[in-house]
Structure 1
C-alpha cells in the first residue's frame, strides 16, 4: 500500500492527543498545528444525522469528537499503527468507524455518499488533487462540504513537493509527496473539479517566535 512504511514511521514519532484541552474537554476539533487554536467542527456545517469521512485520520482525535457529537464518523488511514492507537483510545465509540485504506482507492470502491469530508494535515495534503478531487466530489452529497488544513505553501514552491519522514539515526529518511498551492491556486483547482462556495485562507499562528500559520480550505460539492 502506497507510503505505508513512511506513515508507520510517522505514527511512532507522533505523540497522542492530550487527555483534555484547555477547556477541560475530553474531545475537541483542531484544524491547526497549535493546541487550543483556530476554529472547530462548525467548519463542516454538519447536521444531526450527518455521515462524515476523514482522509488520513491518524490517531483519531478529531474523528472521535465528531462521533461524540452523534455523527457517523468514518476514518481512513494507510498506517496500521495509527489505526491501532485510534482504536485503543476511541474504540468504545459506536458511531466511529476505522478503515485501513488509501483515500482514492476507498473513494473508488465505496458506494456510500457523505455529507462532509475533511483532512487535517492528512491525506488531502499527500494525494494528487487532480486524482483526489474528482473521486471525492463523486462521493459527496450535493452541497456536501469538503474542508482541509495544512501548512501554507512556501513562496515559489508549488505543486508536487517532497517531504521527509525521519526514521532512526542510522537510516535514511523516507520520502512522501505532498501538494502545495497558494489559496488562489486551491480555489482554481477545486472549481475546475466542480466544487463551489470555495474559501481558502491562512489562519495566523498564535503569538510566538518563528511560527507559521495554517491554510484552511472549505468548499461544497
Structure 2
C-alpha cells in the first residue's frame, strides 16, 4: 500500500519551484536533481495534441511545461498536499490531475498516451513487475516511456528502503524504492516488451556534489 502520509510530509519539505529558471522561462522541464541541468522535454518527443502522463507529478512543474507544448497534460500523484500545490500554482495551465496510485490509475483509465514519464516519481517507488505492464498497455504504438532517479548504490539493488524524516521526536516514515544499474534497467524493459531501451547516468554539474542522475528511455 502506498504511504500517502510519507508523500504529504515530503511535499512540505520540498521547496517550491523558482518563478523562472536561469534563462527567464516560467516553465521548463528538469529531469535531474540539479537546477538548470540535463536534457529537456525533447526526450519525450512531444508534439501538439499529444497525450502525456506524469506518474508522480508532485507540484506540477514539469507537467505545466508539457502543457505549454500543446499536449494534453495528465498528472497522477497520491499526495493531497502535492495536488493542492499543483492546483494552486498552475490553475490556468490546463492540467488534468488525479489523486491516485499510479498502478490503479493505469488499470482503471481508458485513455492511451503518446508518452509516459516519471521524474524521481512513481517509477522509482513502485515495483516494476506491477507498473511496467500497465504502462505498456496504456502507451500508444511508438509511444515513449522515460524516467529519472538517483543511480543505484553499488551492491544495493532491487527493493530498497527510503526514509522521509519528520521531527526529532518522530520516527521517519518509510517508503520502498527500486534501484538497478543501467544495464539491468535495459534488460527489465526488454523483458516487459519495450523496444530500444537505453539507460545512462548524466553526471552532476560542476561543483561539490558528485551524484549523477539515471535517465532511462524506451518505446513501444
For the aligned pair, the TM-score class normalised by the smaller chain equals over 0.9
In structure 2, C-alpha distance between the alignment counterparts of 1:2 and 1:154, rounded to whole Å: 23
Specify the alignment match of 2:187 in structure 1: 188
Shift of 1:83: 0.5
Q: Does the aligned pair in 1 maintain the 2:46–2:69 contact within 8 Å?
A: no
Shift of 1:29: 0.2
Specify the alignment match of 2:28 in structure 1: 28
Shift of 1:21: 0.2
Specify the alignment match of 1:68 in structure 2: 68
Specify the alignment match of 1:17 in structure 2: 17
Please provide the CA RMSD for this pair.
0.8
TM-score (normalised: structure 2): 0.99
**In structure 1, the residue corresponding to 2:2 is in which secondary structure?**
coil
Specify the alignment match of 2:59 in structure 1: 59
Once the two structures are superposed, what CA deviation does each residue of 1:33-59 show, in whole Å capped at 9, x if it has no partner? Answer: 000000000000112111000000000
Specify the alignment match of 1:213 in structure 2: 212
In structure 2, C-alpha distance between the alignment counterparts of 1:197 and 1:210, rounded to whole Å: 31
Once the two structures are superposed, what CA deviation does each residue of 1:7-33 show, in whole Å capped at 9, x if it has no partner? Answer: 000001001100000000000000000
In structure 1, C-alpha distance between the alignment counterparts of 2:208 and 2:112, rounded to whole Å: 43
In structure 2, C-alpha distance between the alignment counterparts of 1:208 and 1:129, rounded to whole Å: 33
List alignment gaps of at least 5 residues for structure 2: none
In structure 2, C-alpha distance between the alignment counterparts of 1:152 and 1:187, rounded to whole Å: 14
**In structure 2, the residue corresponding to 1:156 is in which secondary structure?**
coil
After superposition, residues 20-169 of structure 1 pair within 5 angstroms as 20-94=20-94, 96-169=95-168
**In structure 2, the residue corresponding to 1:7 is in which secondary structure?**
helix
Shift of 1:69: 1.6
TM-score (normalised: structure 1): 0.98
Shift of 1:165: 0.3
Shift of 1:91: 1.1
Q: Does the aligned pair in 1 maintain the 2:7–2:79 contact within 8 Å?
A: yes
In structure 2, C-alpha distance between the alignment counterparts of 1:168 and 1:12, rounded to whole Å: 12
Once the two structures are superposed, what CA deviation does each residue of 1:116-150 show, in whole Å capped at 9, x if it has no partner? Answer: 00000000000000110001000000110000000
In structure 2, C-alpha distance between the alignment counterparts of 1:125 and 1:10, rounded to whole Å: 15
Structure 1 segments of 4+ aligned residues over 3 angstroms from their partners: none
List alignment gaps of at least 5 residues for structure 1: none
In structure 1, C-alpha distance between the alignment counterparts of 2:3 and 2:53, rounded to whole Å: 20
